[in-house]
Amino acid sequence: MRSRLAHPEVGLGRSIFARSFVLGALFLLVCVCVPLRINAQHKQTAALPRPRRLDDGITWKRDPATGELTAVLSGPGHEANAAENASTSHSISVVTQVVPITCSVVGADGVAIQNLQQKDFRVFDDGADQPIVYFDASSQPASVAILLDASPSVLRESDEMKNAARALVDALGSSDQTAVVDFSAHTYLQIPFSVDWGAIRKAVGRVDAKQLLGDTGGTNIYQAIFIATKELFAGRTGRKAIVLLTDGQDSGLGLTLDPATSRPRPGLPTNQLTFEDVLRELSTQDVQVFAVSTESRPKIMTADFLATHAGQTLLTESARDGAIPAYTLYLAEMVRRSGGQLYFLREAETLADTFHQIAVKIRAEYTVGFSPTTAGTARTPRAGWHQLRVEVIGHPNATVTARASYYVPSKSEVQ
pLDDT at 151: 85
pLDDT category at 39 given cuts 50, 70, 90 is very low
Range of the domain at 265: 52-88+139-363
- Nearest to 330, CA basis, from 230, 244, 408: 244
Same domain assignment for residues 153 and 268: yes
Give the 3-state secondary structure of 15-33: HHHHHHHHHHHHHHHHHHH
Q: Residue 327: inside a domain, yes or no?
A: yes
Percentage helix, strand, coil, to 5, in the chain?
35, 25, 40
Q: Which of 363, 381, 397 finishes a domain?
A: 363
**Domain end residue (candidates: 363, 382, 398):** 363
Residue 379 pLDDT: 64
Are 325 and 350 part of one and the same domain? yes
**Rg, the chain, Cα only:** 25
Instruction: Indicate if 339 and 370 belong to the same structural domain.
Output: no
The total number of structural domains in the chain stands at 3
Domain match, 298 and 373 both = no
Judgement on whether residues 340 and 208 belong to the same structural domain of the protein: yes
* Residue 215 and residue 203 in one domain: yes
Q: Is the same domain home to 261 and 338?
A: yes
Q: What is the CATH number of the domain that holds 344?
A: 3.40.50.410
Residues 37 and 65 in one domain: no
SS3 (DSSP) at 175? coil
- 357 and 209 together in one domain: yes
Other CB atoms within 10 A of residue 401 CB? 21
In a domain, 93, yes or no: no
Residue 72: the pLDDT is: 85
- Statement to judge: residues 20 and 123 lie in one domain: no
User: What pTM does this model have?
Assistant: 0.82
Residue 262's identity, in one-letter code, is: S
End-of-domain residue from the set 326, 345, 363: 363
Quick check: 368 and 121 in contact, CB under 8 A? Answer: yes
Supply the mean pLDDT for the chain. Answer: 82
pLDDT in tens, 116-167: 999 999 999 999 999 999 999 988 899 999 999 988 777 677 777 788 888 8
User: Is 348 part of a structural domain of the chain?
Assistant: yes
Residue 47 is assigned to a structural domain of this protein? no
Mean pLDDT, range 364-386, rounded to an integer: 77
Note whether 280 and 304 are same-domain residues.
yes
Residue pair 285/234 in contact (Cβ under 8 Å)? The answer is: yes
Lowest mean pLDDT, pick from 72-76, 187-191, 300-304? 72-76
Which amino acid is present at 141?
P
In a domain, 261, yes or no: yes
pLDDT at residue 139, as a whole number? 83
pLDDT digit string (tens) for 231-290? 999 989 889 999 999 989 999 999 999 999 999 998 888 899 999 999 999 998 999 999
Rank 22-36, 38-52, 319-333, 346-360 by mean pLDDT and report only the highest: 319-333
Task: Please report whether residue 46 resides in a domain.
Answer: no
**pLDDT at res. 200:** 93
Confidence bin at 349 (pLDDT 50/70/90): confident
Tell me whether residue 305 is exposed, middle or buried, using C-beta atoms within 10 angstroms of its C-beta: 0 to 12, 13 to 18, 19 or more: middle
Q: Does residue 254 sit in the same domain as residue 321? A: yes
In a domain, 244, yes or no: yes
Query: Would 413 be classed as within a structural domain?
Result: no
